[in-house]
Structure 1
Amino acid sequence: MTLEALDLATLSRRDGEKWASAPDGVLPAWVADMDFPISPVIRRALVNRIDTDLGYPAWYDESDGGPLGEAFAERMLGRFGFAADPTHVRLFTDINQAMQVALHFGTSPGDPVALHAPVCPPFTEMLLKLGRPPRAVPIRWHDERWQLDLDRLADEVRGRDGVPCRALFLVNPHNPTGRVFLRDELEELARLAVEHDLLVISDEVHAELTYDGYRHIPFAAISEAAAARTVTITSGSKAFNLAGVRCAVAHIGVKEVRDAVDAHRGILFGQVNALGVDALRAAWTGGDTWLDTVKTLLARNRLRVAERLPEGIGYRLPEATYLAWLDCRALGLGEDPSAFFLDRAKVMLFRGSEFGPEGRGFARLNFATSPAVLDELLDRIRAAVPG
């Protein structure tokens, strides 16, 4: 089945979180999963692994970068010009686990962590559970784009209450606004990180979903000083729709953190599975044709959302991701407009309020589906909006 031929009957039979959680008659456009069939290259790799050997893998020692070190380094250099060290790569089940481990070894309980808001819900929840108080700095709408408030960030890092931050959690490209941060912005963040001796955890999972006219720059590529304090986290969960295979990569530039991870390998954190490793390696080494096709469709869908949204919903074209951050405040639908659209349009959006106070009055729409399904989503939204 082609990407554009996906229909509701086929999608409604899916048993993953996105579709299985939607009540009958409701179209889900909330969680960040794509509706597209898996890349044939990945499918072949998984079948080959099943047919070859599902016993204990031979790559438990990751001190040389493990089974994905070279693939990651080649991918970063070829796509983004980042000369990653393959021996700094370690594997985790997902970006959340990698973030937790980096904070566990790179900070102490009670250390505040700076991050930009709106914030993807699992990140705030995880920081609170780890005892690392989040200090959210709003991304503000200014000069027709979402912009970092670098002065406010500097104040939060220094610590208004006398307790400075020990880490910066960076999401670039940013979810949910879709911003791709510019070099001068990243250079200012790097200056701040060096000046205040911050551990930087850079979630770059949406990097390969950047649209024409924008360029992703890995934070660790800004300077040697930045690289030496940065843990870069990514996976195939977004660009290749591999969230369920549970395999993520952390490029750990901080030697102390890397050594601590190695000292606890296989004991405290568990290990990734052979299917996940083979799927991600296949994606990075042979999945570009599929990815290019997906990005072409997403680029059209991104414009389709702008053309078909009803008046009163604010929407800035995302510079990356397949997520539309919808400003519904002018419609007077309260703090949670997603509840209105679920009830009146039978469309399931992600609640903006879950991204923090900055998300009140907003909702997030996932447009990674076929044009026909997207049109049905948007038609329902238009029909539900008064006037």
Structure 2
Amino acid sequence: MAHRFDALTAEHMRAGGSWKWSTPGESRGRGLIGAFVAEMDYPVAPPVADAVRAAADASAFGYLPDDWVADMAAACSAFWGDRLGWALDPAWVRPVPDVLTAFTATVRHFTRPGSPILLPTPAYMPFLTVPGMIDRALVQVPMPRSAGGRFELDLEAIDRGFADGAGLLVLTNPHNPTGRVFDDAELAAVTEIVERHGARVFSDEIHAPLTFGGARHRPYATTSDAAAGHTITATSASKAWNLPGLKCGQVILSNAADAEHWTATGYLAEHGTATPGVLASTAAYRDGRAWLDEVLAYLDGNRALLADADLPGIEVTVPDGTYLAWLDARGLGLAEPSSAFFTREAGVVMTDGAACGEAGRGGMRLNLAMSRPVLAESVDRLSSAIRSM
């Protein structure tokens, strides 16, 4: 039986104006398929749409009042408690425009001045560029792959990085772009290393609601009192409910000292949060769960389609969390970046792995959050391009 999302054609998406579908050009007389930006193609949840319409009808576009922040914090806390097992104190949930704003505030206000930042790679692209913009050195920590092909944290390299003076580890879980959901043993090992060096963790958990099968997201700050004491967590409804343009995220504090320090230093980070984004996020957390469940089931079908794809020469990593798959194309022996080859020859626009760090070179990030017929066409185009080499 066809799903309503199946009707979302590439032509429809190109007409919608999203950056994801705005790459100019074509391939072999066909329009390009946008599969690079991390947003979904699916229509927004009705409660979210209703909240934005109500805000417009009420001209609710003024500066953000404390009561609406409190409502959002309560809704976020309830969702994380019900779905992810973290009974948040709503007073410790604070608004920010996005995760990157939370990251820069964490670096500036919760780490030693001038201390380098450790980043497991491949990584979300801005985490490689933003540190330099705020005068911090970045140390890439390539993630090795297990015998089964699973990306893992290089704990020894993280330990060495802290020993050499780094003050902060960026932990993205579920992991963008590899789709890993880190297990308790890995997280406990990270905690031991961070505590031994008196360092900090910035935990990017923006994809926390998006897990599949037996994978279960465990908020890092809940794994132990020690982890709660050295962690700043950032999240948003923007990925799970497809709201990136509404500019609203959440910083979650997990100890009293950090909450007090944020109260003293976090004003500028909070100030840019969009009022309609706060209202939309409140609606998503409070009333958007049925829509999220529908999307998760649909994405799981897309994961299955990709898992069955015939892509010779490409090692496919189907995500356990997020809607982002990793395609390792080094086996094709291309003389150019693989994303450039597949944009030209297949018309499928993906994120080039080199933009995710040196460890990503030769790979690509593929966004699965499109209609299943469009994903099937994408896979067919990739396969045909490979066989035409």
TM bucket by the smaller chain?
Answer: over 0.9
SS in 2 for 1:212: coil
When residues 253 and 334 of structure 1 are mapped into structure 2, their CA distance, relative to the original with a 3 A threshold, is farther
* Cα distance in 2 between the residues matched to 1:9 and 1:361: 30
> Which segment drifts farther, 96-105 or 223-232?
223-232
TM-score normalised over the length of structure 2? 0.93
Partner of 2:118: 114
Partner of 2:370: 369
- Counterpart contact for 1:59–1:67, Cα < 8 Å: no
Partner of 2:171: 170
Per-residue deviation, 1:2? 2.2
Per-residue deviation, 1:190? 1.2
* Cα distance in 1 between the residues matched to 2:256 and 2:126: 27
Per-residue deviation, 1:262? 2.8
* Cα distance in 2 between the residues matched to 1:46 and 1:61: 17
Question: Over residues 61-90 of structure 1, what are the superposed CA-to-partner deviations in whole Å (9 max), with x where a residue is unaligned?
Answer: 89xx73322112211111111122211111
SS in 1 for 2:132: helix
Question: Over residues 112-147 of structure 1, what are the superposed CA-to-partner deviations in whole Å (9 max), with x where a residue is unaligned?
Answer: 111211121101101111122122211111131222
Does residue 34 (structure 1) correspond to residue 40 (structure 2)? The answer is yes
Partner of 2:154: 149
Partner of 1:304: 305
Partner of 1:102: 106
* Cα distance in 2 between the residues matched to 1:8 and 1:226: 44
Does residue 49 (structure 1) correspond to residue 55 (structure 2)? The answer is yes
Per-residue deviation, 1:109? 3.9
Q: What is the aligned residue count? A: 381
* Cα distance in 2 between the residues matched to 1:127 and 1:153: 17
Per-residue deviation, 1:57? 4.6
SS in 1 for 2:271: coil
**Which of 17, 20, 27 is the equivalent residue of 1:18?**
20
Per-residue deviation, 1:335? 5.5
What is the one-letter code of the residue matched to 1:190?
A: T
Q: Which runs of 5+ in 1 are unaligned?
A: none
Q: After the TM superposition, which segments of 4 or more aligned residues of structure 1 sit over 4 Å from their partners? A: 254-257, 264-269
Per-residue deviation, 1:259? 3.6
* Cα distance in 2 between the residues matched to 1:214 and 1:58: 37
**Which of 9, 12, 15 is the equivalent residue of 2:11?**
9
* Cα distance in 1 between the residues matched to 2:314 and 2:368: 16
Question: Over residues 350-374 of structure 1, what are the superposed CA-to-partner deviations in whole Å (9 max), with x where a residue is unaligned?
Answer: 1111011111111111111111111
When residues 61 and 341 of structure 1 are mapped into structure 2, their CA distance, relative to the original with a 3 A threshold, is same
Per-residue deviation, 1:16? 1.8
What is the one-letter code of the residue matched to 2:58?
A: T
Question: Over residues 89-108 of structure 1, what are the superposed CA-to-partner deviations in whole Å (9 max), with x where a residue is unaligned?
Answer: 11111100111011110124
Q: Which runs of 5+ in 2 are unaligned?
A: none
What is the one-letter code of the residue matched to 1:194?
A: E
* Cα distance in 1 between the residues matched to 2:292 and 2:47: 11
Residues 284-299 of structure 1: matches in 2 within 5 Å? Answer: 284-299=285-300
Per-residue deviation, 1:5? 1.4
SS in 2 for 1:308: coil
Per-residue deviation, 1:223? 1.3
Per-residue deviation, 1:309? 3.6
SS in 1 for 2:56: helix
> Which segment drifts farther, 300-309 or 216-225?
300-309
* Cα distance in 1 between the residues matched to 2:270 and 2:95: 10
- Counterpart contact for 1:22–1:348, Cα < 8 Å: no
> Which segment drifts farther, 191-200 or 290-299?
191-200
* Cα distance in 2 between the residues matched to 1:224 and 1:377: 45
SS in 1 for 2:250: strand
TM-score normalised over the length of structure 1? 0.93
Residues 69-80 of structure 1: matches in 2 within 5 Å? Answer: 69-80=73-84
- Counterpart contact for 2:55–2:61, Cα < 8 Å: no
SS in 2 for 1:295: helix
Percent identity of paired positions between Structure 1 and Structure 2:
35
Residues 224-303 of structure 1: matches in 2 within 5 Å? Answer: 224-253=225-254, 255-264=256-265, 266-267=267-268, 270-303=271-304
- Counterpart contact for 1:219–1:226, Cα < 8 Å: yes
What is the one-letter code of the residue matched to 2:99?
A: I
* Cα distance in 1 between the residues matched to 2:99 and 2:5: 27
